[in-house]
Structure 1
Amino acid sequence: VFGMIGVIKTFAPLLRRAKGRIVNISSMMGRMPVAMRSPYVISKFAVEGLSDCLRHEMKMWDVKVIVVEPGNFTAGTSIYTAEGIEKIGKEMWEGMDEEVRSAYGEELFKKKIALMKREVKNGSTDLSLVIDAIVCALTDVTPQVRYQPMGLYFKTRVFAAWHLPECI
């Protein structure tokens, strides 16, 4: 997020003069809180908040601010691998203090690591949805505020997280 802010600050004068646009890449996780994924989710919520505030601030110069919120495309990007998740999980477990380990328990921790490893394999390998969304965000005459390149399952989850009460 800090890198994103730095780039925006650097190019803001040019964007204002050109009536340009800012396209920030977030994630569906920026609109859907998920247990045990706090660092990632927090960073994506920050991108969403930055983009929404910036959209209002830049409106007076006719600068468009657009967010692309991809679903699960990790299988297509290799950002995460099952081996990498296992390694990071081991480091996280070893780095936790005893109180946190005791509170969550090793069984729950291992279940969450296994779930993440499955999700990496289940993600889409076809990146064309994401590429098409970015192209539209950059070139459409009247771009949407948000593009959500994802399948119906994730669109439904994001919609439910954003619009339904948490108790559901």
Structure 2
Amino acid sequence: MDVDVSDHIERDDIIFYSVLYSSVTVVFGMAVLSKFLTNEFRFGFRSFLSLVVLFLGEPLCQFFVKGPGGLVVFAVGCLLVYSILPASHLPVGNRTVFITGCDSGFGHALVQKLDSIGMRVFAGFLEKDGIGAIELRNKCSDRLKCLQLDVTKDKDIEAAAASIQQAVGEEGLWGVVNNAGVWYFSEVEMTSEKIFRHVMDVNLFGAVKVTKSVLPLIRKAKGRIVNVSSLVGRMALPGAGAYSMSKHALLAYSDTLRQEMYKWDVHVAIIEPGAFYTGNTQEQVLKKRQTEIWESLDPETQDTYGKDYLNSMYSHFITTSQTFPADLTPTIRCIRSALLSMRPRARYPTGKGEELVICLHPFLPVWLADRIMATFGLLPRHLKPAALL
């Protein structure tokens, strides 16, 4: 008789805990599903981890830990996994965003995305009446305002800031995205001081000046500052010296600004894309930059390297760039999250395997890191300058 009662109690306990486990599973599953349905969560490591918890967490805890302890472990595990999922987004409302470098690439795609979700966008173009601007005017709503903006010209920046201030008034500016950037593929010795300065003026000082011009409006809205850096801002890449220097400096600027803006409730985020096919990697643009590189060299450096060396460098890079992903969605999604997430991150690496590369690179011996960058870099290893032939 006692055995029957004990068995009955044990069966009741199993049913009771099964119901509790199922309840936790349903709540967690619905929370994860809502992330997918709102496009705030895509399949990746975090989604894989969520599925593991859903399908393996419950049976493992129920049959190996057992009792209330197993239920607690499972519930805490669900909470921990949910905590690393992307946060929900703020409502768009009347939020206004200012984006630089919208002629092509990330800026061009971002304008379309933010306009499609109802944001008011001020888009800066190097050519206000160029092909990129005309295309966006035709595709976007009347909320889009196109501005003439060369980030190296103080007059353009001041005029853009004045237009934005007049439009937003006391509401302030919710976000600025410093996306404008320029890339030159050239070894350090082959890069003239003029080109170094131009790259720094656009990629670094352009972002600094634009941010400073609208910072009072950002503070008023307690908004967001988003700076588009690069993977090579953390890891120097042969052939990308000027670009790496400018993006590394942009990281330092962003990290400093982020800490200084805490007291104003302004969040600063850094976007770190890997290799993508954008306006900077189009063949006609690269060939124009190649000509600029060669014409800026002094005769001695031209003799040392030779024109064939530069031609082969660019021929290899143009071919390589054709394999870069043309789908800019991963980066656009990260910028949107930096602007609207309730829990925005400080850094957003974007691109296949980039987070893993960024995590591992600092722990590698310098000689090994250099060997890897040389092997998988953009410079063909077999090329030799004219002086070595």
TM range (shorter): 0.7 to 0.9
1:114 and 1:16 mapped to 2: Cα distance? 46
2:267 and 2:228 mapped to 1: Cα distance? 14
Q: Could you say which residue in structure 1 is the equivalent of 2:240?
A: 37
Moved more, 20-29 or 102-111: 102-111
Residue 139 (structure 1) shift: 1.1
Compared with structure 1, are the counterparts of its residues 118 and 160 closer, same or farther at alpha carbon in structure 2 (3 Å cutoff)? farther
Compared with structure 1, are the counterparts of its residues 159 and 100 closer, same or farther at alpha carbon in structure 2 (3 Å cutoff)? farther
The counterpart of 1:116, out of the listed 317, 323, 342, is 317
Letter in 2 for 1:164: L
1:165 and 1:8 mapped to 2: Cα distance? 37
**SS of residue in 1 equivalent to 2:227:** strand
Larger Rg belongs to: 2
Moved more, 57-66 or 5-14: 5-14
2:318 and 2:356 mapped to 1: Cα distance? 22
Moved more, 89-98 or 17-26: 89-98
2:293 and 2:351 mapped to 1: Cα distance? 29
Residue 78 (structure 1) shift: 3.2
- Give 1:72-87 correspondences, 5 Å limit: 72-74=275-277, 77-87=278-288
Letter in 2 for 1:121: Q
Compared with structure 1, are the counterparts of its residues 47 and 122 closer, same or farther at alpha carbon in structure 2 (3 Å cutoff)? same
Q: Is the 8 A contact 1:48 1:67 kept in 2?
A: yes
How many aligned positions are there? Answer: 165
1:20 and 1:46 mapped to 2: Cα distance? 23
Q: Is the 8 A contact 2:280 2:286 kept in 1?
A: no
State whether structure 2 residue 257 is matched by structure 1 residue 18: no
Residue 159 (structure 1) shift: 3.8
Letter in 1 for 2:214: F
The one-character-per-residue Cα deviations of 1:41-100 (angstroms, maximum 9, x if unpaired) are: 2221122111011011112222111011111112xx333322332332233224312332
Alpha-carbon RMSD across the aligned residues, in angstroms, is 2.2
Compared with structure 1, are the counterparts of its residues 87 and 13 closer, same or farther at alpha carbon in structure 2 (3 Å cutoff)? closer
Structure 2, unaligned runs of 5 or more: 1-203, 369-389
The counterpart of 1:146, out of the listed 338, 344, 347, is 347
Q: Could you say which residue in structure 1 is the equivalent of 2:49?
A: none
Residue 105 (structure 1) shift: 4.7
1:140 and 1:94 mapped to 2: Cα distance? 46
Letter in 2 for 1:124: P
Structure 1, unaligned runs of 5 or more: none
2:359 and 2:237 mapped to 1: Cα distance? 14
The sequence identity of aligned pairs, in percent, is: 35
**SS of residue in 1 equivalent to 2:281:** coil
Q: Could you say which residue in structure 2 is the equivalent of 1:130?
A: 331
Q: Could you say which residue in structure 1 is the equivalent of 2:364?
A: 164
Residue 106 (structure 1) shift: 4.5
Q: Is the 8 A contact 2:222 2:266 kept in 1?
A: yes
Ranked by relative contact order (alpha carbons within 8 Å, sequence separation 6 or more), the top structure is 1
2:213 and 2:262 mapped to 1: Cα distance? 18
Letter in 2 for 1:34: L
Q: Is the 8 A contact 1:31 1:162 kept in 2?
A: no
Moved more, 131-140 or 6-15: 6-15
2:337 and 2:243 mapped to 1: Cα distance? 26
Moved more, 82-91 or 44-53: 82-91
**SS of residue in 2 equivalent to 1:34:** coil
Moved more, 123-132 or 14-23: 14-23
1:114 and 1:157 mapped to 2: Cα distance? 27
